[in-house]
Amino acid sequence: MVVIIVEGKTDSEFLQDFIENQFEIERNIYDFKGLKGKDYIFSLHDNSMYDKIENKLDIIEKILIAVDADDPKDTCEIRGYEVTESKLSDLIKKLEYSIPIDYFIFSDKAKERGYLESFMLSVLDEDQKKCVNEFKMCYKYELTDKWVFNTFYKQRNHPFDYNHSNFAELRKKLTNLFKEYI
């Protein structure tokens, strides 16, 4: 069994869709854990999720942790790609699990900041990007990528091209995660 630790429901829904689209893997091979936010993932204290995982290490073969880079300008502690990557490395060392643990950080191409939603919007075709940007410019309030994603694309009226080159690193991580099952 493989465990994928995520921040929230949207992350698990996206990864579930991506896995189903890219791989022929039975759903009972993997499970999602987390669903309480990025800061919860990094908290080892009072985190029963890690206790439950540790108690099942005899059947869990690998773990992938998927989190947002977030914006380094945010006031919270673990924000920005570099800080997130460093904290993930520290977390993996502290867990001391005897199984492989890897991570994926949803970010912009510059690997500075980003969210699942901005990562997904990055694969839109030029016409779609132009439409979104024009709407954002004429709207008098700032619209985040999360708002755009939830408003225009979450309804699945505009499916994402999971073969887009921006998904290459994620596909590689998941291929490694599931290589025994592919």
pLDDT of residue 145: 82
pTM, two decimal places: 0.91
How far, in Å, CA of 36 to CA of 85, rounded? Answer: 19
pLDDT of residue 154: 66
Q: What is the pLDDT of residues 146-157, one digit of tens each?
A: 888 877 666 666
Architecture of domain 2-124+161-177: 3-Layer(aba) Sandwich (3.40)
What parts of the chain have a pLDDT lower than 50? none
End-to-end CA distance of the chain: 13
